[in-house]
Amino acid sequence: MYQIMWPGKSNWPLWQRLLFRFFFVYFVLYVSPWQWLEIIPGVNYVTDYYSKFMDWLVNAANKNLFHVYKSLVPLNGSGDTSWAFIQLRLFLLIAAILVIIWSLLDSKRKQHNRLAYWFRIMLRYFIIINCFGYGFAKVFLSQMPFPNNSLMATSLGDLLPMRLSWAFMGASPTYEFFSGLMEVIAGVLLLFRRTATFGTLLAAGVFANVFVMNLGYDIPVKLFSAHLMIACLVLLSFEYRRVLNFLVSNRYAEQGNLYYIRYPKKWMRIATVTAKLLFIVFFVILGGYESYQSFVQRSKTPESKPIRSGLYDVTVFVKNGDTIPPLLYDTIRWRDIVFEKSGAGSVGTTDTLFWQRYRRGYFRSKVDTVKKEIEFSKNNPAFETFKLFTLQYEIPDSNRIILKGKIRNDSVYTVLQRSKRHFQLAEKQFHWLSEYNR
């Protein structure tokens, strides 16, 4: 009977076997490749059950084993919540325990070539999924959008490091596109056995940069980006001699064979090709198409009517019949207001009625042209919508809006004047020739 020849040495040192077992258990837990099934319609119930079980397990570990936090904040826009750090501890502990048990029960085994092959496949496709996911998001300029008027109206010193980094990336669509293109190219190279090592090297550089950026700008995806970088390094560790010979020692590098195996039966070969084609369809083609559709949808966002988007100065603000001068801001006096095309917006105020960010109050707006009303609302961290208040509006001319109504129990009358403020960042300037430092 023909046997599959799994690539690798016939005898591994003990330290290699122990390290492999630890990383194998840990990354199987972390990657959870069965969760990839959620992209297939009709089988997402599998991942739903797993997610509920994992949530219960992490919370139980915190409460009964680690005793670190009184309560856990689940994953939200941040990937570095207390829940994520308890999961990290739990996976490390499980991996350490299972390595001991595995080593005691399987002490005579001298190598894990077959398991290592599938482990490399899992890590490789884990990296590929994220290369295309994050890459397409940047290529189609959706991960870091160009700074909107609300962000333009925010003082630079008020921005947190993460928001500054987002503005830095989004302010240059060219640079964001290039960053995403590098991730997509790395994903394409990783798809094929001949270029997998090159793709891993490129992905390692890309995700190392992402990880350091997350550290340097306090972006709350540090754990995840660290895992992507480490996954690349683990893959490279299987052929470190070959890589060092080529890149450092200037020596002959033998042909790589980590992903080359010959399946003895025809159905096996058909199955592997079919699985790869399905992967490309679901994660590459459909994923890229969804990102493109999102890009097209954003580019077609119509101008809000009759409320024109833009920045407005609050020239008159009357509260309960008293006119509040521009320099006497209290918690409800507005300095300016921004209406975005998307229906979002912000007010220059410290009023905690709004969602506060960088000394501006953020809101969502919905215009009723029949009643001539604007409904203001906000979203909480769980993305639930709460109505704030409704104001009547008048539009005397194309540059002025009058709002009146009640905020809390206070009657408010305000006049908005379209601002003449000019944001140079919005000009997207570029100069080959610069006679001085701009």
pLDDT at 122: 97
C-alpha 243/C-alpha 414 separation (Å) is 67
Q: What type of residue sits at position 95?
A: A
Contact between 136 and 186 under an 8 Å Cβ cutoff? The reply is no
pLDDT at 304: 67
Q: How far apart are CA 88 and CA 62, in angstroms?
A: 11
Domains of the chain with bracketed CATH: 14-297 (no CATH), 310-420 (2.40.128)
Listing DSSP states for 28-87 in one string gives: HHHH-GGGGGGGSTT-HHHHHHHHHHHHHHHHHHIIIII---SS-PPPSS-S-SHHHHHH
Q: Measured between alpha carbons, how far is residue 40 from residues 50, 125, 136, 149, 285 in Å?
A: 16, 16, 20, 39, 14
Average of per-residue pLDDT across 65-74: 95
pLDDT at 276 (0 to 100): 92
CB-based contacts of 285, cutoff 8 Å, min separation 6: none
Question: Is residue 22 over pLDDT 60?
Answer: yes
Residue 385's pLDDT band, with cuts at 50, 70 and 90, is confident
Percent of the chain with pLDDT over 90: 74
Taking Cα atoms as reference points, which of 175, 189, 156, 219 lies closest to residue 359? Answer: 156
**β-pair partners for 254:** none
Length of the chain as a residue count: 438
pLDDT of residue 382: 64
* pLDDT tens sequence across 329-339: 556 789 999 99
Amino acid of residue 23: F
Average pLDDT, integer, range 128-139: 97
Q: What is this structure's pTM? A: 0.91
Q: If you average pLDDT over each of 150-164, 208-222, 328-342, 349-363, which comes out highest?
A: 208-222
Give the DSSP letter of residue 146. P
